[in-house]
Structure 1
Amino acid sequence: MIKVKKALAAGLPGKVVRDVVNRVRYGADAPQSDELIWIRPRDVTDWYIAAPSNGAPLFRRRHSGLVARGDWDLSRKPFGSQIKLDSIRDHFERGVPWQNTNLFDWMLKRIDEEGRIDGCRTREDLIARYDQLDRIYDEARRTGTLRPHGAVNRTRREQGGILVHIARDGTPLRDGGGMHRFAIAYILGLEKIPAQLGVIHAEAVKSGVLHELRKAHARQ
């Protein structure tokens, strides 16, 4: 029953239908929901900004693999200061303890207000989560990459990974999801990292950009 609820919450029935429709429309190389793709963190320069009134819908993980036309991919803002990225930099680059970062206080406040965030319900849960991030950072620094989220957590494909939408020219646009892992990769300057395919522009599909995004290793 728990697995069924999780599948419904992740929009699995709609994703399965979308995969079938995509395959009919675009052939064997069609984008798949929750698909694992590989991106260069430093290629990400913008956030996707949802603005439904201007033709930029609010996309969620359940929209993964959706092929969308229009100018939604032009709704963006520069990838600059952000509380998670700034606090992660404070911790890993400046040695600030997690408990002294703005992010830790912000997360505690969210837990007080909402009861749960990122799977954490208590201060102890939060400490354990950031201990795990320390381990992810150490491994990424040692190996030069991140392991796919799906392989580590045994999720469907890359469900729950670093979420990115793909603009018409193949540019990855950050959206919510996987910010901690992305920030670690960005700080370390990793060459390529795994990500979950979000929404992809129809022109990007037509140009065959997925062929490159599916490659785990950078071209030498």
Structure 2
Amino acid sequence: MVFSPGDVTRSYGPFAPATHHGTVVAGDWDLQHHHFSTNPLARAALQHWRDGVDWEDTGAVELQLGRIRQYGPALADGMATRDDVMRRYERLDQLFELVRQTGELPPHTRPRDLIYLHLDRDGEPVFGHRGVHRFVITHVLRVPSVTAQLGAVHAAAPQALWLRVAVRTGFNFQDRLASAGPVRRRSVFSPRADRGATGRRAPAA
């Protein structure tokens, strides 16, 4: 699935990849959205990369330390100390500069490293609060086309029928996730599988 980050401002957080990856979901969940900057980590990243505020002053470091205290390293991206947090943000700054230079987000080998998107009843993408920093990087730098992991698809979305057929036939749409160059708005299912076009691997983040 590919999307244009500059077109996406809405977000919806409750659906997780473990439970809603590639599922068709009815109801009004897609109307309960917020601007993506309501996510504290996204807001801090915007302040840093868009406005030039130091990471410490955005509150991001304390947010991450709070995650470590609440969830432990296993659920805090492997971070356990303040030094771990600062090293992670150094890597994210390196990723930002790489994307600024190349104009694209490098391919990732793990689905969990992909930006997570849902599709609303009109088939439009809604950010799912996974891959927050990568999403903000591509949004700030106006990257034209980015690979995403598919989350929930509203039952009324134009893509819902395609997804139901794919699931019934055993089509592994996760294997089709790849950058496909600039895409038109609403062209969220890519027919191409042009994997690893750059051959670069992103800094771990």
TM-score by length of 1: 0.66
Q: How far apart are 1:136 and its partner, in Å? A: 0.7
Change (3 A) 1:148 1:168: farther
Q: Are 2:153 and 2:160, in contact at CA under 8 Å, matched by a contact in 1?
A: no
User: Paired residue for 1:161?
Assistant: 114
Q: How far apart are 1:208 and its partner, in Å? A: 5.6
User: Paired residue for 1:105?
Assistant: 62
What is the RMSD computed on CA atoms of the aligned residues?
Answer: 2.7
What are the within-5 Å matches in structure 2 for residues 104-143 of structure 1? 104-116=61-73, 117-143=76-102
Structure 1's consecutive aligned runs of 4 or more residues displaced over 4 angstroms after TM superposition are 206-210
Q: How far apart are 1:124 and its partner, in Å? A: 1.4
Q: How far apart are 1:84 and its partner, in Å? A: 1.9
1:69 aligns with 2:35: no
Q: Are 1:39 and 1:192, in contact at CA under 8 Å, matched by a contact in 2?
A: yes
Supply the distance in 2 between the matched residues of 1:46 and 1:130 (Cα, whole angstroms).
Answer: 25
Query: % of aligned pairs identical?
Result: 35
Structure with bigger helix share is 1
Q: How far apart are 1:68 and its partner, in Å? A: 2.2
Q: How far apart are 1:170 and its partner, in Å? A: 1.5
Q: Are 2:47 and 2:58, in contact at CA under 8 Å, matched by a contact in 1?
A: yes
Q: How far apart are 1:78 and its partner, in Å? A: 3.2
Change (3 A) 1:112 1:192: same
User: Paired residue for 1:38?
Assistant: 2
Aligned residue pair count: 169
User: Paired residue for 2:135?
Assistant: 182
Higher relative contact order (CA 8 A, sep 6+): 2
Q: Deviations over 1:61-113 (max 9, x none)?
A: 11211122333322222334442233223322343332332111121233234
Which runs of 5 or more residues in structure 2 are unaligned?
167-176, 185-205
Tell me the SS of whatever aligns to 2:69. Answer: helix
Q: How far apart are 1:148 and its partner, in Å? A: 2.8
TM-score by length of 2: 0.71
| 1:48 equivalent among 9, 12, 16 | 12
Change (3 A) 1:186 1:120: same
Q: Are 1:167 and 1:204, in contact at CA under 8 Å, matched by a contact in 2?
A: no
